[in-house]
Structure 1
Amino acid sequence: MADVNMKEEESIAAELAHPSSPPLLLSHLKNVAALVEKGVVSKEMRLMVRAMRHVMSIRRKLKGPTVVSFLKSTLPSGSDALSRLLPYVSKEEEIGMDIDTPSSALHVSSHKQSILPELEIFTYLLVLIFLLDKKSYDKAKACSSGAIKRLQQLNRRTLDVLAARIYFYYSYSYELTNSLAEIRGTLLLLHRTATLHHDELGQETLLNLLLRNYLHYNLYDQAEKLRSKTQRAESHSHQQLCRYLYYLGRIRTIQLEYTDAKDSLMQAARKAPLSASGFRIQCNKWAAIVRLLLGEIPERTTFMQPGMRKALRPYFELTNAVRIGDLELFRQVAEKFSSTFYTDKTHNLIVRLRHNVIRTGLRNISISYSRISLTDVAAKLHLVSATPVDDAESIVTKAIRDGGIDAIVDHANGWMQSKETGDIYSTQEPQLAFHSRIAFCLNTHNEAVKALRFPPNAHKKELESAEKRRERQQQEQELAKHIAEEDDDEF
């Protein structure tokens, strides 16, 4: 029986593997529906995932008449689902028209009285994807709301994969119509239901959608409260894990936890697939800002990745201004790309960078000059205020207190005097650095020893059995007796 099932799956997969070698799109959709039905019968979620992958591969080729034909051949005539979905994909005058459909399919639909809930939800999903691709956002919004209402009436674990996709497009359609706030309560209700039903994929998807909903309106405190009070199991979706890390990185950035934010954003960028260029660009934008706030300078190759050079250009120029420490150049870049920064919601973070620019410029000045007047410091930093000298003095004093520069301020003469850089090898810093490296190596060795694994009862192989021990003792006794007899013969 298993061999028969495997052969059927292989035949369906073979038919779906070449969408360009023409069977028609309608036959492809029917094969995908057969794959969904097969997944329900065998309760194999991998078949559901494979079916969705095939739909994504042909979604751009879908036409209205093809979708109408598929709906009429799949859904029972006169059913509520068919009456709801047909108006979305066909004009009023086309609803009553005869679409080119094989006679066998019409014959089946006329006698079909019931349909699997999974196939019904699949038709909702197909229509929803079709409407979004055609940019009919209002219709997609209405269709997704109907799909959610239908899902709330069902409780089947074989629906989890399809339901997760419905949730995503439900939120996406409302986001495209600027009405995300309307569905926040519904998403919270769906997340609670998914938790009670132990739908882990649904929980992951809905948690990310809620975080995106909160961050869209800059509600970072609510997003963190939801994230901290939600129990996350082991991730079942690589894509959802990447999204979660990205949202977590944004939350940590606003909370001034730059180290954790950097780790989350860099991990999300590394784990994201190469095809998700838009997502990777957003991760790199936020990661670049966070690294600048940490005092690091991102590598030039970060901004020169294929397909990202144009999108990351504003952040490349911003990084260059921070690296040089030129406050005037930083101000020009911030004004030039202000619309981009507002769109990316990184404008507030760039305001924080002003202090880093001043600190970098001040460090360069202290290295270049052994003594410089505060008036010249204000001029080189391009400080624009009513009292630039007083501002320069307070900035220099704060930098000395924070350990950013090694200098003293002569208030009487009005200058900053840098201390001479001594020989670092005359201090204990090389010894401490060498000690930290040795400690790291020793800890790595100790962890490796602790992680060693031995096969069970391996030590018993070296121990002799009872029979061998008796044989050895008997041989020793005979040898001793033989030696004693030889000694008696000598006497």
Structure 2
Amino acid sequence: MTQDVEMKEQAAPSNSLPSFSPSTLHHLKEIASLIETGAYDREVRRILRAIRLTMALRRKLKSSALSAFLNFTLIPGSEALTRLSSYLPKEDEHAMEVDTATSAPQAPAKHSLPEIEIYCYLLVLMFLIDQKKYNEAKACSSASIARLKNINRRTVDVLAARLYFYYSLCYELTGDLAEIRGNLLSLHRIATLRHDELGQETLLNLLLRNYLHYNLYDQAEKLRSKAPRFEAHSNQQFCRYLFYLGKIRTIQLEYTDAKECLLQAARKAPIAALGFRVQCNKWAIIVRLLLGEIPERTVFMQKGMEKALRPYFELTNAVRIGDLELFRSVAEKFSSTFSSDRTHNLIVRLRHNVIRTGLRNISISYSRISLVDVAKKLRLDSVADAESIVAKAIRDGAIDATLDHASRCMLSKETGDIYSMTEPQTVFNSRIAFCLNMHNEAVRALRFPPNSHKEKESAEKRRERRQQEQELAKHIAEEDDDEF
């Protein structure tokens, strides 16, 4: 399902594209020049900046501007120009956009760089998806992937990662996601052999999404465990990986690891990725309930999430009270929502937790209570069910009580002081470890100019370096929003 973990790439407002800026075609030419410079200088950061500028320009893309841009950049009569032009709808020549900034007669510079060609594929593919022409988008994405297999340049990797994402999205939107699984595996193998780590990250996430879309959790875990491991290069891809890993761990009953992955994914995701953070919180709430924890009310009151998390709030309230009848009514009331979120099977597992919570409340309230009353309070079908549930809860340590089979009653023990145990120390230690890990990740993410400790800078060089650092910090901040 597209909304499962779709982090929409929103066109963030850019200072470089004001309302009175030159035409779209002029901006596309500037972006092409930036890509060309990055390709010749082998600076991937310039190509990343070009992608960010494209995302800001995405909503302004028109067929006329794209046609003019393709004619400007690609060689006349080339296969790429013919193929890409066939995907664009034909418009009246009077509707063609006029580039006021370059209206003077000049010979257009033709590019034969693979980066420019792949960028043209990316532009046309995004335009087709936005226009909801999914069949044309599928054909365009397949052609772009076939072209990518013949290009082995590190400056193309950033553009290739975007094409991989849209390639999978096109087939998912048309319901044909299973068709490209073998091709994605082949692309992942090629990216591994070429040491394209960003491509490996993207393709691994796409493969995990592909498997989870068809509930193939075992195959997803086998792939994840055998895939090469390296330090994450993209925060967005790392968030996706944590979310998929959390879902796999949840299905495998490893709730502690699943909770950590899901909460970390929700924290690391940018604010603009609201849909992704909502999905992370939904799964994290279910996992915490399965662990016997009750999420805080502030989790359900996060800005923009109140309506989406309302069914899970009522579910949490039913689990907290331990009312089995209320739990059934909530599950039936929001069954369609839980099915669309693919959490219905997990909610079925919660029934036992509801019973345990109610039993724990009973053991705290009563020092002695008959099993008949326990069955009535928990709304169980028979006294035998109540006896077996109480016995299992005592054996698992859920309640501190004893079972008197002769008189058919439950005897609760006096509750001890929690601070005389080691539980507060364990919780405090886990919080300290979390803070230290966050500090270490922040230190590793710091970037320093090369050889800054070996040479003495003049005042002018120092000003230039500070200006570059400010621009770099701005670009890094923009990265968190652009790819979602």
Band of TM-score, shorter chain: 0.7 to 0.9
Corresponding position of 1:305: 302
Corresponding position of 1:368: 365
Q: Distance in 1 between matches of 2:424 and 2:71?
A: 75
Unaligned runs of 5+ in 2: 1-13, 434-484
* 1:408 paired residue among 385, 402, 408: 402
1:105–1:372 Cα change, 3 Å = farther
Q: Is the 8 A contact 2:25 2:97 kept in 1?
A: no
Corresponding position of 2:167: 170
* 2:183 paired residue among 179, 183, 186: 186
Deviations 1:220-275 (A, max 9, x none): 11111111111121111111111111111111111111111111111111111111
Corresponding position of 1:86: 85
Which one has a bigger Cα radius of gyration?
Answer: 1
Shift of 1:436: 7.4
Corresponding position of 1:148: 145
Corresponding position of 1:380: 377
1:137–1:297 Cα change, 3 Å = same
* 1:201 paired residue among 198, 207, 220: 198
Unaligned runs of 5+ in 1: 1-14, 444-491
* 2:243 paired residue among 242, 246, 267: 246
Corresponding position of 2:464: none
- Tell me which protein shows more helix as a share of its residues: 1
Partner SS state of residue 198, structure 1: coil
Corresponding position of 1:397: 391
1:431–1:358 Cα change, 3 Å = closer
Corresponding position of 2:220: 223
TM-score by length of 2: 0.81
Deviations 1:131-189 (A, max 9, x none): 11111111111111110011112111110000000000000111111111000000000
Q: Distance in 2 between matches of 1:284 and 1:72?
A: 47
TM-score by length of 1: 0.80
Amino acid at match of 1:81: A
Shift of 1:323: 0.6
Partner SS state of residue 107, structure 2: helix
Q: Distance in 2 between matches of 1:152 and 1:397?
A: 61
Q: Is the 8 A contact 2:370 2:410 kept in 1?
A: yes
Q: Distance in 2 between matches of 1:356 and 1:60?
A: 48
1:182–1:422 Cα change, 3 Å = closer
Deviations 1:369-426 (A, max 9, x none): 233222221221122x4xx11111111111122122222333333332323x16649x
1:431–1:397 Cα change, 3 Å = closer
Partner SS state of residue 135, structure 2: helix
1:437–1:164 Cα change, 3 Å = closer
Corresponding position of 1:326: 323
Partner SS state of residue 410, structure 2: strand
Amino acid at match of 1:20: S
Partner SS state of residue 76, structure 2: coil
Alignment of structure 1 residues 46-65 onto 2, 5 Å? 46-65=45-64
Q: Distance in 2 between matches of 1:191 and 1:435?
A: 44
Q: Distance in 2 between matches of 1:439 and 1:332?
A: 39
Alignment of structure 1 residues 275-354 onto 2, 5 Å? 275-354=272-351
Amino acid at match of 1:170: Y
Q: Is the 8 A contact 1:19 1:28 kept in 2?
A: no
Q: Is the 8 A contact 2:338 2:344 kept in 1?
A: yes
Q: Which has the higher contact order (CA 8 A, sep 6+)?
A: 2
Corresponding position of 2:481: none
Shift of 1:20: 2.2
Q: Is the 8 A contact 1:73 1:105 kept in 2?
A: no
Partner SS state of residue 56, structure 1: helix
Amino acid at match of 1:257: E
Alignment of structure 1 residues 16-165 onto 2, 5 Å? 17-91=16-90, 94=91, 99-101=96-98, 108-109=107-108, 112=110, 115-165=112-162
Shift of 1:291: 0.8
Give identity over the alignment, percent. Answer: 66
